[in-house]
Chains A and B, each alone.
Chain A
Amino acid sequence: MDGGGLRLNMNGLDYLILALYFVTVLGVGFAARRAIRTSVDFFLSGRSLPAWVTGLAFVSANLGALEIIGMAANGAQYGVMTLHYYWIGAVPAMVFLGIVMMPFYYGSKVRSVPEYLRLRFNRPTHLLNALSFAVAQVLIAGVNLYALALVMQALLGWPLWTAVVVGAAIVLAYITIGGLSGAIYNEVLQFFVILAGLIPVTVIGLVKVGGVNGLMDAVRDSKLGEAGLHAWQNTGSTANPLGAHWLGIVFGLGFVLSFGYWTTNFAEVQRALSAKNMSAARRTPIIAAYPKLFIPLVTVIPGLVALVTVKGLGAESGDLQYNNAIPLLMRDLLPNGVLGVAVTGLLASFMAGMAANVSGFNTVFTYDIWQAYIRPGRSDDYYLRVGRWATVGAVVVGIGTAFIAAGFSNIMNYIQALFSVFNAPLFATFIIGMFWKRMTALAGFWSLLLGTLVSLSLYLLYKGGVIGFNSDLEESFWGAGLAFVTAVVVAAVITPLTAPKRDEELRGLVYGMGGIDLKGDVLAGDAAWYRSPVLLGLIAVALAALFYIPVF
């Protein structure tokens, strides 16, 4: 049986810690129920949450399976270059979302990211994006659920189907009952539990290898060698652990992929739309950028510790795959007690990821598909009920896709990679539409469609072996870049040939058209300098640049 060697020695107290967490999560869902009376209460927390809550939920929604397990694996495989996924591949895009794009999202009162496309362009563009987002979210929810079940099976010895059903039932319960408030509050809680689980692993790991200096010496002697300790050295060619040129890192990862993911992914942006005013909405992704700066301390460092302490790590299959870096350290280093907290943190991270997918899905399904195209003009209570049923539907389909994923785990990984490439043309369409008022509705539709088709075709040609790339990462850089260029070119060609929208229709949606009030809903205290989105954002970007200096 695979994973037998990873089995943790959990005792009753560890299970008590885990059980206490599950009870709390469900309690939060039930307690959030009394705050739901309208559909906006259910889907957007009534636009009432403070910035620190939405900010931590924003970062937590991304701390899913891929993030914790995957980034520790990347740390062990690629070394310090993994930091690019945080400092250039996330922080600048999060700051850009808060400073530049959030005024359009929050100020226009749209209820979802696809809805912005309906107002700015037309219904076909909207439907295209709403459908692809909805499909992607249920598929990815299934992948997250399957990953959760795999960890529970390997670490705790639970049968796969039990783990799938238990995980799904808990997420289903707290979102159906508590809506987005249930999801967001649990994400904030999960953020702290995840840290409480990962910090002890990191601390004991560092003690074991003799502190930071001991770790650096050990990495020099490992198969990564000196190159494992540098983020930018040798990026003038592709002769570095990541196999990436600095141009690819800056433009592919830092610009197209990262801006595509962080600025247009509704599962993320939804957290900011639930903030209580414009200032809080703009600060949401920027507050999230600060924990994001420091998360590599508890993912990349354990990855490196695993590399130098676990003999044979990096096997193609079995217990010693890179993906098991953190579970292996937990098994080897944590005594009962903190072990229970660490397992709880790991499970919390998987549930956070799935909950973000499900709560993004139910909103887009209800507002952007059901209300806009299938049953318009019903009462608000009706859409609230539809949202609850959509949540049930998403989780049930997610269980189905989890079992498909069980049969084709590689294929599901590919699907996830594929959807990440879809974000690049979407980002191009958004950014041109926000800053070029002349861009027409038809141009928006064709930019999005053709850009997506280009990235899709390149991906399929690569997978079919027709076109070769050095790595999956290189393919995604190129796919995203080409899709972005295609969207720009299509917009430039079609716009002059078609009729523009009237200026009044673009108020609040396009830069320079007015209609956005950055200060109209300020609360006492929001004027303080330490709550200025621009200042906070610039400090975050400066810190990201400074942090690179010791690991250049």
Chain B
Amino acid sequence: MDNHSQPAQDPLIDSTQEEQRRSAAARLFDIRRVIGGLFVAYGIIVTLIGIFDSRAEIDKAEGVRINLWAGLSMLVFGLLMLLWQWLRPAEPPAPNEQQPDA
């Protein structure tokens, strides 16, 4: 930490800032996996419903096979989220946040 550009000090803030070195935040999982997983599941369910939609259901949606389209879109979106996580894993935390006085 550099000292030439410090904001005003406050005891309450400093006490929690000191605790930062104990922080377990680096153990947080990546939300992209959950979003991807849920949307892949929704995509599969809704696409399957769409494949077996009856005439009445298609007519209700103004003739659009909405379950099929929405299902496939959600499936693609979910897979893209998983692909993004696979291609660009979370950046490691900045070293100065981990070890302030190392």
Q: Which residues of A contact B (CB under 8 A)?
A: 13, 16-17, 20-21, 24, 27-28, 31-32, 34-41, 45-50, 53, 107-111, 115, 118-119, 181, 185, 188-189, 192-193, 196, 199-200, 203-204, 207-208, 276-277, 332-338, 341, 367, 371-372, 376, 380, 504-509, 514-517, 520-521, 523-525
Assess the B42–A508 pair: CB atoms within 8 A.
no
- Distance in Å from the Cβ of B47 to the closest Cβ of chain A? 9
- Residues of chain A within 8 A (CB-CB) of B34 are 24, 27-28, 185, 189
- Residues of chain B within 8 A (CB-CB) of A53 are 31
Expressed in whole angstroms, the Cα–Cα distance for A356 and B10 within the complex equals: 27
List B residues 1-57 near A (Cβ within 8 Å): 2, 5-8, 10, 12-13, 15-17, 19-20, 22-29, 31, 34-35, 37-39, 41-42, 45-46, 49-50, 53, 57
- Residues of chain A within 8 A (CB-CB) of B102 are none
- Residues of chain B within 8 A (CB-CB) of A334 are 60-61, 66
- Residues of chain A within 8 A (CB-CB) of B16 are 38-40, 111, 367, 380
- Residues of chain A within 8 A (CB-CB) of B70 are 196, 199-200, 337-338, 341
Q: Which residues of B contact A (CB under 8 A)?
A: 2, 5-8, 10, 12-13, 15-17, 19-20, 22-29, 31, 34-35, 37-39, 41-42, 45-46, 49-50, 53, 57-58, 60-64, 66-67, 70-71, 74, 77, 90-91, 93-94, 96-97
Assess the A208–B66 pair: CB atoms within 8 A.
no
- Residues of chain B within 8 A (CB-CB) of A335 are 53, 57-58, 60-61, 66-67
Expressed in whole angstroms, the Cα–Cα distance for A181 and B26 within the complex equals: 12
CB-based nearest A residue for B53:
A335
Q: List the 3 closest pairs (A to B, CB-CB), nearest first.
A: A508-B7, A46-B25, A48-B25
> Could you give 10 example pairs across A and B, Cβ below 8 Å?
A20-B41, A35-B26, A38-B16, A38-B20, A46-B28, A47-B25, A48-B25, A109-B17, A192-B35, A515-B5
CB-based nearest B residue for A206:
B62
- Residues of chain B within 8 A (CB-CB) of A109 are 7, 13, 17
Assess the B50–A115 pair: CB atoms within 8 A.
no
- Residues of chain B within 8 A (CB-CB) of A17 are 42, 45-46
Assess the A45–B25 pair: CB atoms within 8 A.
yes
- Residues of chain B within 8 A (CB-CB) of A20 are 38, 41-42
- Residues of chain B within 8 A (CB-CB) of A507 are 6-8
Expressed in whole angstroms, the Cα–Cα distance for A525 and B29 within the complex equals: 22
- Distance in Å from the Cβ of B48 to the closest Cβ of chain A? 9
- Distance in Å from the Cβ of A382 to the closest Cβ of chain B? 11
CB-based nearest B residue for A524:
B91
Assess the B67–A338 pair: CB atoms within 8 A.
yes
- Residues of chain B within 8 A (CB-CB) of A517 are 2, 5
Q: A192-B39, A334-B66 are in contact. Are A48 and B26 (CB under 8 A)?
A: yes
CB-based nearest A residue for B47:
A337
CB < 8 Å neighbour of A523 from B20, B53, B62, B91 = B91
